[in-house]
Structure 1
């Protein structure tokens, strides 16, 4: 029969041995077991970690990288309103394309030409290089997939469809932001105007190439955009442009950057977990 408990062993605010003593005995027993048979404690964590880590092989099929799905409410009112617009104001990219009617950004590739040395893209030298740049974007595959209006591909810039090879518009012949019923706010950038709103010069000009996404060509349009991103840098370099600098992006750019971040971050997580588990196992061997 156990005798009365020693007052020194009772739990109190000044005495915590009643907690420390059983824990010490527990870990002493665990240490004895590890010392007597260490290999299960070494191999089992490694095998378990390797088995669980193998799940990363299925990550490409299970990852959700859609920007809209990740950063917008699942049942947001804006999505319902967009669906309403799609049902009641359908677009026709094959015959009557209109960028303002698009319920989304659409499928497009954009080139922005910026004049160098503080000059204007409406100067003759810069305008000639803009025309060469525009010809680079109009390949045969684009002609097949482009969004069409008035029997041809939608113009990438309203100024090109009006002036084109005839030369740039003369200073003062345009008004900003609306000229002859055409909105130029999205076509020109860095615009210099006089007191009457007449355009004297512009630092940048934007070319937007829309593609069809409302029919069977939607997947082909995506492939063209991917090819555009891969080849446009070399094509621009081959032009040897001196009066303009070119930047570019597409409707896929943000999505691809988001997917690239995922691919670069996951290996770092894997390395972190591996080092943490390895350190814990090695520490137990000492």
Structure 2
């Protein structure tokens, strides 16, 4: 039978190495194992990291750069209330579209026509160019995918009809901002009025809504992407002289975000290189005894393998990849 333990070995206020002592013995055994059989400790981590790193093959399918998903709380009150609105105020983009009933921004393409030289878009020459612009946007695909109301596509502007020969409203013939039952405050900008009568307007907004509540939702998204690609060339072909046109869509913010993300990737590469170089050079000493360059190199390689393994494992498990985690290597190298 073993005798009583030496008091010096018991945990007490004076002797607190009862945790350090077994850890020290454990690491001594690990060091002895590494010294006796070094190759398994070198090859196994490399093979394991290489295997887990294969998860990056799923990166194109796992990328999730949705702004709402990244920068709004999951299950937040606003999302719950929006779902409540969707249940009690359903939309029907195919037959009874109504923009005020939309619980989101919707799927749309917006153009703002501004009269040149401080004139009015309600002048005949500018109005004719607005009609030409409207016809250019209303292609066959738009007519198939547009949000419809009363059997036809929702009008992009209360003042605009599909009649190509329609004349602009006469000065003073309309009231502003409410003309009858139609609100014109969001349709015209830079207005001049006289006693509530509309005399002129510097800008006019065209808003083309598309369906997003049915099987055509993906087709609507593709139409918007095609619109952004081709609208610049179409505007040049129109050779507009009386109006200047700016445009954006419901996808513009998301595409700008993704474009900014892609543009900083080369800068990330340069930053990684500088960080690694600093981590190694900071361990350089003139004394051969105190020099830790090889230790720093191994630490950098270890951090790289950790990033490769952890990210690859998460991608294997189906975890979405967002670009905001691209700063993780900086945090790991900082340790």
TM-based fold match above 0.5: yes
Could you say which residue in structure 2 is the equivalent of 1:193? 193
- Superposition CA RMSD, Å: 2.6
1:1-286 alignment, distance < 5 Å:
59-161=59-161, 165-194=165-194, 196-281=195-280, 284=293
Q: 1:209 to 1:162 in 2, by over 3 A?
A: closer
Cα distance in 2 for residues equivalent to 1:210 and 1:75: 28
> Shift of the alpha carbon at 1:64?
2.9
CA contact (8 A) 1:163 1:169 kept: no
Post-superposition CA distance 1:87-108 (Å, at most 9, x none): 1111100011111111111000
| CA deviation profile, 1:107-129 (whole Å, cap 9, x unmatched) | 00011100000000000000000
Q: What is the CA deviation profile of residues 185-234 of structure 1, one whole-angstrom value per residue up to 9, with x for unaligned ones?
A: 1110111111x111110010011110001110000000000000000000
- What's the TM-score once normalised by structure 1's chain length? 0.77
Q: TM-score, normalised by structure 2?
A: 0.66
Q: Which runs of 5+ in 1 are unaligned?
A: 1-43
Unaligned runs of 5+ in 2: 1-42, 285-292, 295-335
- The count of aligned residue pairs is 240
Q: Secondary structure at the match of 1:245?
A: strand
- Worse-superposed segment, 159-168 or 78-87: 159-168
Partner-residue secondary structure (3-state), 1:161: coil
Q: Deviations over 1:20-56 (max 9, x none)?
A: xxxxxxxxxxxxxxxxxxxxxxxx9xx99x9799987
CA contact (8 A) 1:112 1:207 kept: yes
3-state DSSP of counterpart to 1:247: strand
Q: For 1:264 and 1:271, how far apart are their aligned partners in 2? A: 13
User: Judging changes above 3 Å, is the alpha-carbon distance between structure 1 residues 143 and 163 closer, same or farther for their aligned structure 2 residues?
Assistant: closer
SS in 2 for 1:95: coil
Taking a change above 3 Å as real, the CA distance of residues 272 and 202 of structure 1, as seen in their structure-2 partners, is same
Q: Relative to structure 1, is the Cα distance of residues 238 and 252 closer, same or farther in structure 2, using a 3 angstrom cutoff?
A: same
For residues 155-212 of structure 1, what are the alpha-carbon distances to aligned partners after superposition, in whole Å with 9 as ceiling and x for unaligned? 1111012876221000001111100110011110111111x11111001001111000
Deviation at 1:75, TM superposition (A): 2.0
User: Aligned equivalents of 1:109 and 1:161: distance in 2?
Assistant: 17
Contact 1:113 1:246 survives alignment (8 Å): yes
How far has the Cα of 1:238 moved from its partner? 0.4
The answer on whether the counterparts of 1:113 and 1:204 sit within 8 Å (CA) in structure 2 is yes
CA distance in 1, matches of 2:191, 2:164: 19
Instruction: Check 1:106–1:279 CA distance in 2 against 1; reply closer, same or farther (3 A cut).
Output: same
